[in-house]
C-alpha cells in the first residue's frame, strides 16, 4: 500500500509539477512529450490503485483465511507485474526520448524568439527560464542574443547564467533515475507479493495455517 501511495504521489507531482506542465502546454502536436506526459500520469495512477487493492485484498485474505480473496490479490499483483515489465523495457529502450523531446521544445521556442517571429513565444521562453533558473544556450563564441536579454530572469547575465539545455538534461536525468528506481522496487514487490499470495493460498487450501479449522473429538 505504501508503494502504491508513493507511485501515486510521484505521478501527481510529475503531471502537475510546474516544469513538466509548462513544457507540456508549450509542446507542439508533432512532439511526443505531451503524449508521454499524459500516458505516464494515467499509468501511474492505475498502477498505484492496483497495488493498493492488492495489499488490501492480501491483508483481508490473511485475516479471513479466504482462498477467493487470496486469488484476487494474486491476480492484482500479476496484473501490476504485467504492466511494470513493458514500462521498464520502454524506459530502457527509449532512455533519452523524454529528454530529447523536452529539449526539442526548448530549441523550437528559443529559435522562434531569436528570429523575433512571435511575441507569444517570448513569454513562453521567459517562463521556461524562470522555471529552470537558466539563461539561454551557451555559444562557443560567447555572444549574447536579444533572446537572452529579453527573457532571462532578473539579475542573470548570459555568461553568468546556466545553460538551459544542460539544466534541463540534468534535472530530467535525476528525475528519470528516481522513476526507474521506483519501477525496479515495484517489480520486486509484485514478484514477492505473487509468491506470498501463492503460498498463502496453498496454506489455506491444505489447512496448514496456524489457526486450524474444524472440530476435534476425543474418544
Listed in sequence order, the residues at least 6 apart from 174 whose beta carbon sits closer than 8 Å to its beta carbon are none
Q: What's the pLDDT score for residue 141?
A: 46
pLDDT at 42 over 50: yes
> Within 10 A of 48 (CB to CB), how many other CB atoms are there?
23
pLDDT at 160 over 80: no
CB-based contact 187:51 (threshold 8 Å): no
Mean pLDDT of the chain: 82
Report the percentage of the chain scoring pLDDT > 70: 83
pLDDT at 209 over 50: no
Q: What's the pLDDT score for residue 46?
A: 95
Cell numbers of 1, please?
Answer: 500500500
Q: What's the pLDDT score for residue 148?
A: 65
Task: Looking at 66-134, list the stretches that DSSP marks H as alpha helix, in order from N- to C-terminal side.
Answer: 67-93, 97-114, 119-132
Among residues 20, 26, 54, the alpha carbon closest in space to that of 39 is found at 20
Domain boundaries, the chain: 1-135+164-212
Average pLDDT over residues 81-106: 88
Helix or strand or coil: residue 74?
helix
Cα dihedral angle (169, 171, 172, 175), rounded to 10 degrees? 160
Q: What's the pLDDT score for residue 110?
A: 87
Average pLDDT over residues 37-66: 90
Average pLDDT over residues 196-209: 76
Among residues 116, 174, 128, 171, the alpha carbon closest in space to that of 153 is found at 128
Q: Give CA angle at 15 (43, 152), nearest 5°.
A: 150
DSSP state letters, 147-196: HHHHHSPTT--TTTSPPHHHHHHHHHHHHHHHHHHHHHHHHHHHHHHHHH
Q: For residue 118, what pLDDT band results from cuts at 50, 70 and 90?
A: low
Report the percentage of the chain scoring pLDDT > 90: 25
pLDDT at 40 over 50: yes
Cα separation, 103 vs 164, in Å, equals 9
Q: What's the pLDDT score for residue 83?
A: 92
- The backbone region for 136, taken as left when phi is positive above 0, alpha when psi lies in -120 to 50, beta otherwise, is left
- Measured CA to CA in angstroms, residue 119 lies from 86, 156, 186 at distances of 42, 21, 45
Amino acid at each position: 500500500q505504501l508503494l502504491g501511495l508513493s507511485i501515486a504521489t510521484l505521478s501527481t507531482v510529475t503531471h502537475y509539477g510546474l516544469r513538466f506542465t509548462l513544457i507540456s502546454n508549450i509542446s507542439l502536436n508533432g512532439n511526443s512529450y505531451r503524449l508521454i506526459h499524459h500516458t505516464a500520469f494515467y499509468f501511474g495512477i492505475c498502477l498505484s490503485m492496483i497495488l493498493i487493492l492488492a495489499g488490501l485484498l492480501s491483508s483481508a485474505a490473511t485475516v479471513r483465511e479466504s482462498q477467493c480473496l487470496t486469488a484476487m490479490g494474486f491476480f492484482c499483483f500479476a496484473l501490476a507485474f504485467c504492466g511494470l515489465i513493458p514500462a521498464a523495457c520502454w524506459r530502457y529502450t527509449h532512455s533519452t526520448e523524454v529528454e530529447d523531446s523536452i529539449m526539442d521544445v526548448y530549441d523550437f521556442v528559443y529559435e522562434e524568439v531569436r528570429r523575433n517571429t512571435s511575441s507569444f513565444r517570448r513569454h513562453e521562453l521567459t517562463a521556461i527560464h524562470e522555471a529552470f533558473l537558466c539563461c539561454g544556450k551557451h555559444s562557443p563564441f560567447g555572444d549574447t542574443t536579444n533572446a537572452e536579454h529579453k527573457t532571462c530572469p532578473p539579475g542573470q547575465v548570459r555568461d553568468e547564467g546556466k545553460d538551459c539545455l544542460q539544466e534541463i538534461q540534468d534535472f530530467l536525468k535525476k528525475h528519470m533515475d528516481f522513476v526507474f528506481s521506483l519501477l525496479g522496487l515495484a517489480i520486486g514487490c509484485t514478484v514477492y507479493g505473487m509468491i506470498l499470495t501463492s503460498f498463502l493460498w496453498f496454506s489455506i487450501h491444505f489447512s496448514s495455517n496456524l489457526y486450524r479449522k474444524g472440530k476435534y473429538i476425543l474418544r
